[in-house]
Amino acid sequence: MTTDKDAPISGEMPRNEGTDATAPADPGPDADGGPGTGGAAGTENLDSPLHLRPAELRGGGEVEHRDKVFELRKVSVSYGSHRAVGDVSMDVFQRNITALIGPSGCGKSTLLRCLNRMNDLVPSARVDGEVIYHGENLYGPRVDPVQVRKVIGMVFQKPNPFPKSIYDNVAFGPRTMGIKQNMDDIVEEALRGAALWDEVKDKLTSNGLSLSGGQQQRLCIARAIAVKPEVVLMDEPCSALDPIATLKIEDLIRQLKDEYTIVIVTHNMQQAARVSDMTAFFSVRTSEGKRTGELVEYDDTEKIFSTPADRRTEDYISGRFG
Ligand SMILES: Nc1ncnc2c1ncn2[C@@H]1O[C@H](COP(=O)(O)OP(=O)(O)O)[C@@H](O)[C@H]1O
Ligand SMILES: [Mg+2]
């Protein structure tokens, strides 16, 4: 075991630089523009109690099936007076792929953004309940959201490479963390990890935006994993891609599971069935004209898609609704 164990998370996330494309977009309902290594401006907080062990966790050691990374306890998220999603309790397991599915507007993206405090960037958003990450409250007073977003990275719906070279896209996160050495190796490792290396190794100085959509999304995944997060959150990462590029990303997601814990939002049920280990099905409850998302059922993906416990899940997965 390494000695990282007791080190508080340190280092900074990419800074919000206003007009610079590196700035995370406001993650509003339709915004998918934040960077893969997204994070707000902030200062390093060495007092952060959030002790993280990503290096160890990636060390290839034995992982008990069902080791918990996140424990959500009665989590609700409101935008102003509108409760978008309510009372969600579920655990997210280590090196699992957890899919969040359900009809549009049921709060999948909202809930996903709770897991790395992206909702902090939405002024009207309020999170109630507890999001426990490795035993610590992610919303505790001394936790630095900038550090959180370093260990819990995010990939968005629409590929959003920076208008920089392929190399600089991947090196961006490590550089903002102050890493200067072995950058070539870091970039290569991340691009290999994102199954993109062979396609770009001879044109690392080309603009990231010159790549195809599927390659751009893999570049965004490379950018997210270059800072060696523990968790990668993905919000409909294939929805802007053609079927072949989609299958490549799905293959990649399955590979990433060896090293990362992945939570993926998808509106594509076949995709959830193909890639995930666990599936959470959300639905919308309408009461007095107000629509609030709720967790209907959470179980092994196989169970959800073969013998769901709730009629609403069955209706949804069989295409009768949604
Ligand atoms: N930034 C925001 N400000 C206000 N309301 C929002 C915001 N983001 C999402 N919502 C609302 O929260 C609800 C859930 O949205 P969302 O999480 O995007 O659902 P899904 O991803 O399942 O489609 C919707 O009613 C949506 O309009
Ligand atoms: Mg969404």
Q: Please state the pTM of the whole predicted model.
A: 0.83
DSSP per residue, 231-288: EEEEESTTTTS-HHHHHHHHHHHHHHTTT-EEEEE-S-HHHHHHH-SEEEEEEEEEET
The pLDDT of residue 298: 98
Tell whether 109 is covered by a domain. Answer: yes
Instruction: Give the Cα-Cα-Cα angle 260, 141, 4 (nearest 5 degrees).
Output: 40
Residues 6+ apart with CB under 8 A from 49: 8, 136, 140, 142, 143
For the record, the structure tokens of 45 come out as 């907080």
- CA distances to 31, 87, 120, 245, 251 from 301, rounded to whole Å, are 28, 21, 30, 23, 17
The pLDDT of residue 22: 33
Q: How far is the CA of 264 from the centre of ligand 1 (A)?
A: 16
- From CA 238, how far away is CA 255, in angstroms rounded? 16
Question: Which string of b and e fits 209-240 if b means at least 16 CB within 10 Å?
Answer: bebeebbbbbbbbbbbbbbbbbbbbbbbbbeb
- Does the CB atom of residue 109 touch ligand 1 within 6 A? yes
What are the beta bridge partners of residue 279? Answer: 99, 299
For ligand 1, atom 4, name the residue with the nearest CA.
Answer: 79
Tell whether 253 is covered by a domain. Answer: yes
Q: How far is the CA of 199 from the centre of ligand 2 (A)?
A: 30
Q: What is the mean pLDDT of each run of 10 residues along the chain (322 residues)?
A: 36 32 37 38 40 41 71 98 97 97 96 96 96 96 92 96 98 94 97 96 98 97 96 96 94 96 95 97 93 97 96 90 56
Tell whether 46 is covered by a domain. Answer: no
Cβ proximity of 249 and 234 under 8 Å: no
Mean pLDDT of all residues belonging to the chain: 84
- From CA 213, how far away is CA 21, in angstroms rounded? 18
Q: In terms of residue numbers, what domain contains 159? A: 69-317
Tell whether 26 is covered by a domain. Answer: no
User: pLDDT per residue over 120-142, tens digit each?
Assistant: 999 999 999 999 999 999 999 98
Residues with CB under 5 Å of ion ligand 2 are: 109
Starting from the CA of residue 27, give the closest ligand.
1
Starting from the CA of residue 282, give the closest ligand.
1
Please identify, by atom number, the ligand 1 atom nearest to the C-alpha of residue 106: 22
Tell whether 63 is covered by a domain. Answer: no
The pLDDT of residue 228: 94
The pLDDT of residue 321: 62
Count how many domains the chain has.
1
The amino acid at 263: V
Tell whether 41 is covered by a domain. Answer: no
**What angle do helix axes 213-225 and 166-176 make, rounded to 10 degrees?**
20
- From CA 88, how far away is CA 85, in angstroms rounded? 8
The pLDDT of residue 11: 32
- Domain holding 128: CATH number? 3.40.50.300
